[in-house]
């Protein structure tokens, strides 16, 4: 059980996800009887998580302390920070706080899961200060690859904490809203006990380019394109979409939004005033044939090569309304999420085969990151001047690079904490900080409508089946005498091709028959013993004959 509280006058900060991984971002701050939670992100499965749709954090600690939770704070609207909300809200129902666009983007998600009417959403603005029991939180505007992102200045009884959120120091953002360096510096003047800072680009030298830097690339592409332009980007990157719209306007092109998430997010952004599409410029999918190719821009989903996305279907020539061919230009304006390299490469190859021109990050400046590089990370540390430094939001090597940056800026080794999910980072009034223990934390797999019913054992079985195949042995046994009435019949799936392996399978059947002949009558009526014996003898036989290790599933039918 984790229904516990920190010792008196101690603050616990517990990362529940996002440390040592990309995604799953979630953190709890616990003082006395008060808890605040920062973000509730998901993670997309890697290639080893066969059949898993998404991964969400284990919130056992929060469930066992739910009476203490004063609020859930969202730093921005990306899936790796808000995607786990529907699964969290089915177990807990804290009031949620976020900026206007962040809450607008989660509305559709909550409606889809039937949670909209029961969820308490509270809109906040940058520089607004709210109290949550022992905590006082100020929302600090930051630039990122999504509009309306914030960092957090958190006043606690033991000192000030800064949580950077996802950020970069864009000096020329599309909407003119700069990262509020003044506020970060102000906290630095007041004294900061600890800085929790985004590590995504900590291994990259220099500065992250401004979002505005790719405007010229868009203009060059639009100017040279003779046919349709099909542009894929993240549905949440409203600034990128706005740049496409502005460039299309200059080039006298109409816009068609395609893909559920793009349409939904743009609808929210238009309604809230974060996106501007001139009247009469947007057309419906059904109207595409009414316009010549040189007057069209299609903005679509699928920048990560998702199999059922509009872009993938176009690449496979499986899209009903859009058939891509010579003269068309395809723009993939997005970075590659680790693990998606192969599907994206496959899509690019398909478009080239169809005669289209393809523009992507490796050949053109068509994408910039939303995360700070080394010089920006160092600037934030120097502005905040924290006593303790804790890297967050990144894989282990990225967090390690961030620690090295902090050392170069004269933060002592003993004040740099490289934590992992589930660590209890304890802070005292004497400004000490150390890892005081652990709580159960980890990953919960979502497969279809099942949440948490697929565990490591199931995944190992799936990996075993995927790599080695399966043999099913079916035997009919008289439950009274133990005599074999039918079989053994062997069915192979993913192991050997039955039609071409009759001799091998016949030998396997003979091995099973010899085993059953040797078993005592009492053993034959104990199905668990029979199954274990069949499994053991078949594995040895197969390993010796062809050096493979399929999953062996004996199926005994009582007759």
Q: Among all residues, which ones are annotated catalytic?
A: 198, 371
What 8-state DSSP symbol labels residue 168? B
Q: Which tokens go with 515?
A: 């085993």
The angle formed by the CA atoms of residues 79, 83 and 85, to the nearest 5 degrees, is: 150
Residues 6+ apart with CB under 8 A from 244: 218, 231, 233, 255, 297, 299, 333
DSSP 3-state of 159: strand
Which H or E run contains 110? Answer: helix 100-112
Q: Of 149, 150, 164, 155, nearest to 132 (Cα)?
A: 155
Cα–Cα distance measured from residue 203 to residue 209, given in angstroms and rounded to the nearest whole number: 15
Paired with 15 in beta bridges are 27
Q: Tell me the C-alpha to C-alpha distance, in Å, between residue 408 and each of 161, 412, 413.
A: 21, 9, 10
Q: Which tokens go with 110?
A: 């909550």
Q: Of 328, 332, 325, nearest to 354 (Cα)?
A: 325
Residues 6+ apart with CB under 8 A from 24: 17, 18, 41, 42, 43, 55, 56, 57, 80, 84, 421, 443
Q: Of 522, 520, 515, nearest to 538 (Cα)?
A: 515
Half-sphere exposure of 517 (CA within 13 A, CB side): 6
Calculate the dihedral angle through the C-alpha atoms of 419, 420, 423, 426, rounding to the nearest 10 degrees. 20
Q: How many CB atoms lie within 10 A of CB 378?
A: 15
Q: Of 160, 333, 97, nearest to 236 (Cα)?
A: 333
Cα–Cα distance measured from residue 479 to residue 212, given in angstroms and rounded to the nearest whole number: 76
């Amino acid at each position: 059980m984790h229904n516990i509280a920190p010792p008196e006058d101690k603050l616990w900060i517990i990362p529940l996800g996002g440390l040592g991984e990309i995604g799953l971002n979630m953190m709890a701050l616990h003082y006395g009887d008060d808890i605040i939670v920062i973000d509730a992100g998901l993670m997309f499965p890697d290639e080893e998580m066969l059949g898993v749709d998404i991964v969400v954090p284990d919130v056992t600690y929060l469930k066992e302390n739910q009476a203490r939770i004063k609020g859930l704070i969202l730093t921005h609207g990306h899936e790796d920070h808000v995607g786990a909300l529907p699964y969290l809200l089915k177990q807990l129902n804290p009031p949620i706080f976020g900026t206007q666009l962040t809450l607008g983007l989660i509305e559709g998600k909550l409606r889809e899961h039937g949670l909209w009417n029961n969820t308490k959403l509270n809109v906040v603005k940058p520089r607004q200060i709210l109290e949550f029991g022992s905590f006082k939180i100020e929302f600090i505007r930051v630039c990122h690859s999504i509009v309306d992102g914030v960092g957090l200045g958190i006043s606690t009884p033991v000192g000030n904490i800064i949580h950077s959120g996802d950020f970069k120091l864009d000096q020329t953002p599309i909407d003119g809203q700069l990262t509020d360096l003044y506020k970060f510096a102000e906290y630095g003047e007041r004294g900061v006990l600890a800085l929790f800072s985004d590590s995504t680009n900590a291994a990259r030298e220099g500065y992250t380019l401004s979002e505005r830097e790719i405007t010229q690339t868009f203009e060059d592409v639009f100017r040279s394109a003779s046919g349709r332009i099909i542009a894929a980007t993240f549905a949440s990157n409203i600034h990128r979409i706005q740049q496409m719209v502005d460039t299309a306007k200059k080039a006298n092109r109409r816009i068609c939004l395609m893909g559920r998430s793009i349409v939904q997010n743009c609808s929210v952004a238009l309604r809230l005033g974060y996106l501007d599409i001139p009247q009469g410029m947007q057309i419906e999918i059904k109207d595409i044939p009414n316009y010549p190719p040189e007057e069209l821009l299609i903005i679509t989903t699928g920048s990560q090569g998702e199999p059922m996305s509009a872009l993938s279907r176009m690449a496979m020539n499986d899209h009903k309304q859009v058939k891509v061919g010579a003269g068309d230009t395809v723009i993939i304006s997005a970075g590659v999420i680790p693990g998606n390299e192969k599907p994206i490469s496959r899509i690019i190859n398909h478009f080239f085969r169809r005669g289209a021109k393809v523009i992507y990050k490796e050949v053109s400046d068509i994408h910039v990151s939303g995360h700070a590089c080394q010089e920006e990370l160092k600037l934030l540390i120097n502005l905040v001047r924290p006593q303790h430094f804790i890297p967050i939001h990144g894989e282990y090597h990225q967090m390690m690079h961030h620690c090295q940056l902090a050392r170069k800026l004269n933060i002592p080794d003993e004040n740099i904490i490289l934590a992992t999910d589930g660590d209890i980072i304890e802070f005292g009034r004497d400004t000490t900080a150390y890892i005081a223990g652990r709580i159960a934390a980890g990953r919960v797999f979502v497969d279809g409508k099942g949440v948490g019913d697929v565990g490591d054992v199931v995944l190992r079985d799936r990996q075993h089946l995927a790599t080695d195949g399966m043999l099913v042995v079916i035997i009919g046994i008289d439950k009274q005498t133990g005599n074999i009435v039918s079989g053994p019949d062997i069915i192979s799936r993913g192991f050997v091709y039955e039609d071409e392996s009759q001799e091998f399978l016949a030998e396997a059947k003979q091995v099973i028959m010899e085993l059953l002949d040797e078993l005592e009558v009492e053993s034959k009526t104990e199905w668990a013993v029979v199954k274990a014996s069949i499994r053991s003898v078949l594995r040895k036989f197969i390993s010796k004959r062809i050096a493979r290790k399929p999953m062996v599933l004996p199926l005994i039918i009582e007759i």
